[in-house]
Amino acid sequence: MSAPVSPAEVDLDAQGRLTVPGSGTAVPVHRVAEHLADRLRIPEWATDIHVYVHGWQTPPAVATKTATRLLTKALELRSAAPDRYPGLRAGYRPWCVVVRWPSSSLPTLRGYRRIRDRAHAMSAEGDGHAPYVIGHLLGYLDTERTDPNGPAVLAGRSGQYLHLMGHSFGGRFLCEAVQRAAEPPPVLGWSTPYDPRRPFTVDSALIFQMAAPRDAFAHLFDTLFPTDAHPGAPLRGPVVLTHSRWDRATGFWHLRAEKSTGIGHSGAGAAPVRPFPTRLLPTDAVYPQHALDHRLVNMEADWLYRGGRRSRLSPAGAHSDFLRPESSHLLLTLAERSR
């Protein structure tokens, strides 16, 4: 088994602007595509591209380490039990881009609201360039990869799959940015973003312990899913959301800040498509197809995302207790079912 290549890193400042590594200088919007094309070169050997956006209270180095550990464990699971992932017999060679942004604050109600508002402003309002950055990033990836709807040959030059991963506010950040980036006038670098013959697609999206209201997909992310009104919606594969009642950040703190518990605590509620409830499975269990084959999936993880003794004393509780083999098993299964 070979470990995944070191993730590529994209750093944003507090306004959501791409920064030049080592200097902190913001990249002008008109040079974002050029900058990404220069820095992000998709390896020819890659079969799957994962884009990871971290959440609250996450230093940049920790974000990169988290993405690396999730994918490394996924490779270990496939190597140990390849028959559990038959769709990956032709190969699974992941490559990852980690989007890092300033998410640290005091562990207080004021700090929670500050990062919540920053994630929203960077992605959906004001002068933030996150939709441009992420839109160009995803558009660049889509331009460079071969359309998975073409020849079903999973080699680096013949087919690559695109998966989004987020944690906490990173999931909110990602959904808002991708949604806004797909709105006209187009921010994305896609030639035909609304062409039904070849729409831009994300093959799967997995968000751990999302810090957003339970009705966010009805009010904040309502154009993410393809409908008659939005045939070119940017997400085609399932959006899987883990939740645990032991998550104090999206339980207690979210309740105080937004008058209701969050998705990471209680799962998604009202949405344009009905969320399908299911349960996170251990690594030796195979997910039934019907458990994941839905636009929106609520993945209950109470039994596992509980946090240790230190987590139970932490203001965030088990909010960050998703770095588990079972999480890698889930993301690997989503990659397999995208075939």
Give the integer Cα–Cα distance in Å for 57 and 46. Answer: 31
Give the integer Cα–Cα distance in Å for 323 and 74. Answer: 12
Mean pLDDT of 122-139: 71
Please tell me the least confidently modeled range out of 79-93, 122-136, 244-258.
Answer: 122-136
So what's the pLDDT on residue 184?
53
Confidence of residue 149 (pLDDT cuts 50, 70, 90): low
pLDDT at residue 182 is higher than 70: no
Give the integer Cα–Cα distance in Å for 224 and 323. Answer: 26
Other Cβ atoms less than 10 A from the Cβ of 313: the count is: 9
Percent with pLDDT over 90 in the chain: 43
Please tell me the least confidently modeled range out of 113-122, 174-183, 248-257.
Answer: 174-183
Does residue 105 sit within a domain? yes
Does residue 140 sit within a domain? yes
So what's the pLDDT on residue 193?
38
pLDDT at residue 76 is higher than 70: yes
Does residue 2 sit within a domain? no
Structural domain that includes position 310 = 8-337
Q: Which long-range contacts (CB under 8 A, 24 or more apart) does 86-89 make?
A: 86/336, 87/336, 87/337, 87/338, 87/339, 88/332, 88/335, 88/336, 88/339
Other Cβ atoms less than 10 A from the Cβ of 160: the count is: 25
Whole-structure pTM value: 0.89
Does residue 222 sit within a domain? yes
**Contact criterion met (CB below 8 Å) for 147 and 198:** yes
Give the integer Cα–Cα distance in Å for 248 and 315. Answer: 7
Confidence of residue 254 (pLDDT cuts 50, 70, 90): confident
So what's the pLDDT on residue 155?
29
- Measured at the CA of 25, the angle between CA 134 and CA 136, to 5 degrees, comes to 15
pLDDT digits (tens, 9 = 90+) for 9-50: 999 988 888 898 888 899 887 888 888 888 888 888 888 989
pLDDT digits (tens, 9 = 90+) for 90-120: 899 999 999 999 998 887 788 888 888 888 8
User: Higher pLDDT residue, 246 or 249?
Assistant: 246
Please tell me the least confidently modeled range out of 21-35, 40-54, 136-150, 204-218.
Answer: 136-150
pLDDT at residue 5 is higher than 70: no
Q: Specify the length of the chain in residues.
A: 339
Does residue 237 sit within a domain? yes
Give the number of domains in the chain.
1
Does residue 3 sit within a domain? no
User: Higher pLDDT residue, 336 or 5?
Assistant: 336
Does residue 67 sit within a domain? yes
Does residue 208 sit within a domain? yes
pLDDT at residue 53 is higher than 60: yes
pLDDT at residue 200 is higher than 70: no
